[in-house]
Structure 1
Amino acid sequence: MRLLVIEDEADLATAVRDHLCAAGHAVDIAVSRDLAEAALQGTGFDLILLDLQLPDGDGLALLRWLRQRGDATPVLIATARDRITERIAGLQAGADDYLVKPYDLDEMLARIAAIRRRSDGRAEPERRFGPLRLLPERKQALLEDVTIHLTAREWALLERLSRRPGVIVSRQELEDTLYEFGAEVESNAIEAHISRLRAKLGRAVVETVRGMGYRMGQA
């Protein structure tokens, strides 16, 4: 997934980014409301991790601005404000969940996964495509019940395609899922990842729709 971390504490932002990247996500960081708004106006994100205390404004105001624009991107609030009234205010402003600092990074990953499932309308613990089973909670792919090792980016690509079976996803959308702002992306990077997925899971696992993009097939 492509995530935006809105956090002005440099050490925390770096730790969160590293943990998310290790889990296969592409992560961008905004250290202020102005930078966050610029990022949100220029790129689509799958989820936002939002600190409420920003140097140039309140995170709740940013959240309200986002929802007033009609942007339904899931938002996980992460803040030191732990009073019940403040949690309620965040949820009423349009947040999907709440983390109180200091928080465990693995709990953060679990909450992000849960939010993503709800926003996708998926409550099932696995996704099936012929003999291929995907277990999003474990980031695990099984082919004929045999676990197949995938790299973080291979998994991220497969997860993005499997989220909406049958829907064509453009190459640009896949690049946005796998790579953050400023990353050097080779022209054939997506093709290379898909080629490796097909070698591991079968040529039919990802279908190429010429001139349009890719969609999930049957392994």
Structure 2
Amino acid sequence: MCNCSRYHRHHSFLFAIMKNNSGNFYNYMYPLYPIVDRFFKKQKKQLANIINNLPSGNVLEIGVGNGSMLPLYQKHIVTGVDLSTKMLARAKRRETQVRVHLFMADGEDMKFQKESFDYVIINHVLSVTTHPETMLQEAFRVLKPDGQLFILNHFTPGNALRFINIIFHPFAHLIQFRSYFLINDLKSLDLFRLQYMIPSKPFGYYKILAFRK
């Protein structure tokens, strides 16, 4: 006798991947994120320290996920958007020091008015979203004049890790991930002015990039 509930979960998971349904995909991936959070903990603290040293303002975090960054903010008014209902439910339970507003929304097509935010944060999202160029254009649209964009993501380096990215690239789409991911391929970044780039451990594989509109 088959375990029908297990079959249904497995089939639904594969269907979410094949249909490129990011919300459903991350609903299924949700139980794994405490492990993911531990891996990225130092990087997120590094980014949060930068944000906390900025003048108070309105922050938008695109792809807020389970809200792991939210307790790290020490000031600002923070708005977070995500496509996963389970991730947002966890984010809403986080204890925070700041005022937080959470919405279910697609970071590639947000309903916020233009020039609404002082700071936009895209944290480990660009390499997993369907259309990263569209997301960057949306970030530009909702940023106030002279506002700042902060990106934390892996970018394929020029060292030996480059070859690992290339080898894994044909299979990475199965988990909605671009392993081979180059900064120079993101043409929409030309909308912004690069302020600085900080390599983040390990091996400079991850980087924090700061841009100004």
TM above 0.5, yes or no, is no
**TM-score when scaled to structure 2?**
0.36
The alignment's TM-score, normalised by the length of structure 1, stands at 0.35
